[in-house]
């Protein structure tokens, strides 16, 4: 019999973590720390209080392993990815109940992560580069473009183009970069990076130039939010910007050009969809058509409204929906109206689904998928789980 029961150890997924250090600042007992590479949890200090879970913007904090010997800080600092859960044999002995609770909680926490569980990259996705630049050693890019994308005077969305010059910035469509705003926060600490999806394809905003574009909305909320977004919106040509990343190893497009893509987005959540579309425009069509449900307040508030009109219909089927025109439509309403088309895509084993934008859209999109999937005799939960496990169901909402 073992003299110590297995414990449930709290860990952070280095592949998904964006190194914003919010968890570290939130932890009430200083159990979280970082070096230039990873953010780690001290097993001797962490008491599993969960205070850090809701503040994490990516969900990378919600990782748990049941272990007989906890992973040390040194081991965690050396990881590029989390170790798999090892098989633990629990003894039917005093103390085992507690361990069993921990094991169940760990399994449940994993089952509930992300898009209904642990997301996976598409099988044919290119291998992403991750964490080339960090807070201590950022890339420095030069602003070579800052164009307004929306006519609505109250809705300033910008297309910001950064030139990385000779610094390698191999970023795939669907990945994100961190932007470090200059200056200090209210407590006098330097600002931490904020995350933005790239809206350019892997070979650059301009083909074969080391240019990366971002889609950024000015934050006009009262109360001093939007430090980084407003910094980006106000950038002038020639300004220098400190950049970390790239980040993200799963929200990627398949390299299989025959795979249909179903893209559902709101507002600036269109950034990765633009990158996917440009990639397919540049690499030739294949058989995989792209279908997009894109929601904005009005046509004047829809980023890339003009350029989208020029994308051929046989490459991209567009459903642009507006919530503040007479139509008063959300993306999920149009998905239901186009149930037959969505059902056809769900039945194609090559279809990859991407949902990106406001956190609030998730519930309505899930409900629309549920009724459409049920109409073709597929329980949505099971179908979604299968797609996710096959790297074909992806959600990125904030």
What residues make contact with ligand NAP under the rule CB under 6 A?
196-197, 215, 217, 266-269, 271, 295-297, 301, 323-324, 330-332, 356-358, 360-361, 364, 396, 398
Q: What is the per-residue burial (b if ≥16 Cβ within 10 Å, else e) of 88-97?
A: bebeeeeebe
Angle of CA points 290, 206, 152, to nearest 5°: 70
Q: Give the nearer residue to ligand NAP in terms of CB position, either 362 or 390.
A: 362
What is the closest distance, in whole angstroms, from the C-beta atom of residue 280 to ligand NAP in the complex? Answer: 19
Ramachandran region of residue 245, left (φ > 0), alpha (ψ -120 to 50) or beta?
left
Can you state the angle between helices 339-347 and 361-375, rounded to 10 degrees?
80
What is the closest distance, in whole angstroms, from the C-beta atom of residue 155 to ligand NAP in the complex? Answer: 7
What is the closest distance, in whole angstroms, from the C-beta atom of residue 47 to ligand NAP in the complex? Answer: 32
What is the closest distance, in whole angstroms, from the C-beta atom of residue 285 to ligand NAP in the complex? Answer: 26
Q: Give the nearer residue to ligand NAP in terms of CB position, either 32 or 296.
A: 296
Give yes or no for a contact between 142 and 240, defined as CB atoms under 8 angstroms apart.
yes
Q: Give the nearer residue to ligand NAP in terms of CB position, either 167 or 323.
A: 323
Cα separations (Å) of 398 from 23, 203, 334, 359? Answer: 17, 27, 22, 5
> Which residues, listed in sequence order, are joined to residue 318 by a DSSP beta bridge?
292
Q: Give the nearer residue to ligand NAP in terms of CB position, either 224 or 360.
A: 360
Among 193, 194, 211, smallest CA distance to 202 is for: 211
Tokens of 75: 């081991």
Residue that the structure tokens 């040509």 belong to: 237
Residues written for the chain: 398
Q: Give the nearer residue to ligand NAP in terms of CB position, either 10 or 217.
A: 217
What is the closest distance, in whole angstroms, from the C-beta atom of residue 386 to ligand NAP in the complex? Answer: 25
Q: Give the nearer residue to ligand NAP in terms of CB position, either 246 or 269.
A: 269
Q: Give the nearer residue to ligand NAP in terms of CB position, either 146 or 266.
A: 266
Q: Tell me the CB-side half-sphere exposure of residue 361, using CA atoms within 13 A.
A: 26
Q: Give the nearer residue to ligand NAP in terms of CB position, either 63 or 396.
A: 396
Q: Give the nearer residue to ligand NAP in terms of CB position, either 120 or 217.
A: 217
Residue that the structure tokens 């400190």 belong to: 242
What is the closest distance, in whole angstroms, from the C-beta atom of residue 372 to ligand NAP in the complex? Answer: 16
What backbone phi and psi angles, to 5 degrees, belong to 296?
-145, 170
Ramachandran region of residue 322, left (φ > 0), alpha (ψ -120 to 50) or beta?
beta
Give yes or no for a contact between 302 and 294, defined as CB atoms under 8 angstroms apart.
yes
H or E element that contains 342: helix 339-347
What is the closest distance, in whole angstroms, from the C-beta atom of residue 241 to ligand NAP in the complex? Answer: 15
Residue 112: other Cβ atoms inside 10 A: 12
What is the closest distance, in whole angstroms, from the C-beta atom of residue 216 to ligand NAP in the complex? Answer: 6
Give yes or no for a contact between 331 and 293, defined as CB atoms under 8 angstroms apart.
yes
Q: Give the nearer residue to ligand NAP in terms of CB position, either 71 or 196.
A: 196
What is the closest distance, in whole angstroms, from the C-beta atom of residue 127 to ligand NAP in the complex? Answer: 22
Residue nearest to ligand NAP (CB): 267
Tokens of 27: 């932890």
What is the closest distance, in whole angstroms, from the C-beta atom of residue 6 to ligand NAP in the complex? Answer: 38
């Amino acid at each position: 019999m073992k003299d110590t029961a297995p414990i449930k150890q709290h860990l952070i997924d280095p592949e998904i973590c964006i190194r914003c250090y919010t968890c570290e600042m939130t932890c009430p007992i200083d159990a979280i720390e970082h070096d230039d590479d990873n953010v780690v949890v001290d097993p001797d200090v962490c008491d599993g209080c969960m205070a850090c879970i809701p503040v994490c913007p990516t969900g990378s904090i919600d990782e748990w392993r049941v272990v007989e010997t906890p992973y040390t800080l040194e081991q965690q600092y050396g990881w590029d990815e989390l170790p798999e859960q090892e098989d633990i044999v629990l003894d039917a002995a005093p103390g085992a109940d507690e361990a069993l609770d921990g094991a169940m909680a760990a399994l449940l926490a994993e089952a509930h992560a992300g898009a209904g569980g642990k997301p996976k990259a598409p099988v044919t996705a290119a291998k992403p580069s991750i964490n080339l630049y960090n807070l201590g050693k950022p890339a420095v890019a030069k602003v070579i473009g800052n164009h307004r994308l929306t006519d609505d005077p109250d809705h300033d969305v910008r297309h910001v183009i950064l030139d990385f010059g000779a610094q390698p910035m191999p970023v795939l469509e669907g990945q994100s970069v961190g932007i470090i705003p200059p200056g200090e926060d209210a407590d006098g600490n330097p600002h931490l990076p904020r995350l933005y999806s790239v809206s350019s394809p892997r070979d650059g905003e301009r083909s074969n130039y080391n240019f990366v574009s971002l889609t950024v909305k000015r934050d006009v909320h009262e109360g001093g939010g939007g430090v980084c977004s407003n910094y980006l919106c106000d950038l002038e040509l020639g300004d220098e910007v400190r950049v970390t990343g790239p980040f993200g190893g799963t929200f990627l497009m398949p390299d299989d050009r025959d795979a249909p893509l179903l893209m559902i987005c709101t507002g600036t959540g269109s950034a990765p969809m633009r990158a996917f579309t440009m990639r397919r425009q540049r690499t030739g069509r294949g058989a995989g058509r792209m279908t997009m449900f894109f929601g904005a307040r009005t046509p004047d508030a829809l980023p890339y409204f003009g350029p989208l009109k020029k994308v051929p219909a046989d490459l991209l089927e567009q459903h642009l929906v507006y919530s503040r025109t007479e139509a008063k439509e959300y993306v999920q309403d149009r998905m239901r109206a186009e149930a037959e088309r969505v059902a056809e895509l769900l039945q194609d084993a090559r279809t990859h689904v991407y949902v990106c934008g406001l956190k609030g859209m998730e519930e309505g999109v899930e409900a629309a998928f549920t009724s459409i999937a049920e109409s073709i005799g597929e329980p949505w939960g099971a179908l979604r789980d299968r797609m996710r496990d096959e790297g074909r169901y992806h959600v990125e909402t904030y």
